[in-house]
């Protein structure tokens, strides 16, 4: 079971530097934002970098594109933060080892960006709200799940049966949770997971081509 963590604190930091840095950055960002104001105040959250789209003048948030990234490190409350950081703590390390730290860092950011992009796209199509505000690492974390879904389906020898079942269970539970719980952005989760699946496919194919050239 690759998702069980047995490392000491020091070993975890040494083995998974990017995951450690991401967790630390999320926590520090939350502390600063919460200390500075009310996290339930939408204007305060926007001031600290939440992802914002406004229809029709800026339906995809491209007037302030940095929000695609800053929002990945923001959370609406302590429960939101703890839930996502636990997922990152447990499930991200095996992927960091598989991908190597630099690729994994870029992968994580791209999945978070894709989650925001999918959320914006669906909001435009459905005309759900004129102003959409989103925060959270969930899109990026679902990208991690998406990568493991690809591995579970197409690279089965890399995962034991228990780990594969865990991946399927998490994704099913995640969809149900996203549908039932108010203010959870289902489409950001789907966008992140889809990006993770597709990006890992691209990386996997590139790795296979390199290996063929070397033989």
pLDDT tens, 150-189?
Answer: 999 999 888 999 999 999 999 999 989 888 888 889 999 9
pLDDT at 215: 66
Mean pLDDT of 114-123: 96
* Cβ 79 vs Cβ 106: under 8 Å: no
Question: Of 75, 80, 132, 189, which is the active-site residue?
Answer: 189
pLDDT at 59: 93
How far, CA to CA in Å, does 154 sit from each of 64, 81, 151, 158, 200? 38, 32, 5, 9, 11
pLDDT at 72: 98
Does 138 participate in catalysis according to the annotation? yes
Q: pLDDT per residue over 36-88, tens digit each? A: 999 889 999 999 999 999 988 999 999 999 999 999 999 999 999 999 999 99
Q: pLDDT per residue over 16-28, tens digit each? A: 999 999 999 999 9
Look at 139 and 178; give whichever has higher pLDDT: 139
Return the domain boundaries, the chain. 9-207
* Cβ 200 vs Cβ 149: under 8 Å: no
Greatest CA separation found in the chain?
59
Least confident span in 88-102, 121-135, 179-193: 121-135
Question: Of 119, 138, 152, 163, which is the active-site residue?
Answer: 138
Please check the confidence at residue 214 and state whether its pLDDT lies above 80: no
Does 75 participate in catalysis according to the annotation? no
Q: CATH class for domain 9-207?
A: mainly alpha
Cα separation, 154 vs 156, in Å, equals: 6
Look at 212 and 188; give whichever has higher pLDDT: 188
Q: At which residue do the structure tokens 């960091």 appear?
A: 96
pLDDT at 5: 86
Mean pLDDT of 90-118: 96
pLDDT at 127: 75
Quote the mean pLDDT of the chain.
93
pLDDT at 112: 98
């Amino acid at each position: 079971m690759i998702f069980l963590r047995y490392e000491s604190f020091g070993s975890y930091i040494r083995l998974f530097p990017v995951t450690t840095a991401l967790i630390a950055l999320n926590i520090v960002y939350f502390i600063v934002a919460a200390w500075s104001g009310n996290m339930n105040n939408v204007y305060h959250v926007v001031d600290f970098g939440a992802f914002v789209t406004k229809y029709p003048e800026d339906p995809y948030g491209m007037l302030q594109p940095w929000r695609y990234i800053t929002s990945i490190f923001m959370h609406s409350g302590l429960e939101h933060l703890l839930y996502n950081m636990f997922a990152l703590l447990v499930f991200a390390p095996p992927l960091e080892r598989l991908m190597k730290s630099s690729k994994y860092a870029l992968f994580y950011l791209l999945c978070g960006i894709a989650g925001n992009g999918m959320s914006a796209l669906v909001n435009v199509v459905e005309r759900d709200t004129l102003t959409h505000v989103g925060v959270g690492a969930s899109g990026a974390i679902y990208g991690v799940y998406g990568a493991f879904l690809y591995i579970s389906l197409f690279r089965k020898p890399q995962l034991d049966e228990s780990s594969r079942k865990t991946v399927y269970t998490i994704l099913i539970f995640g969809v149900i949770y996203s549908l039932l719980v108010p203010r959870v952005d289902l489409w950001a989760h789907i966008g992140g997971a889809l990006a993770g699946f597709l990006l890992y496919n691209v990386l996997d194919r590139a790795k296979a081509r390199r290996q063929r050239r070397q033989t």
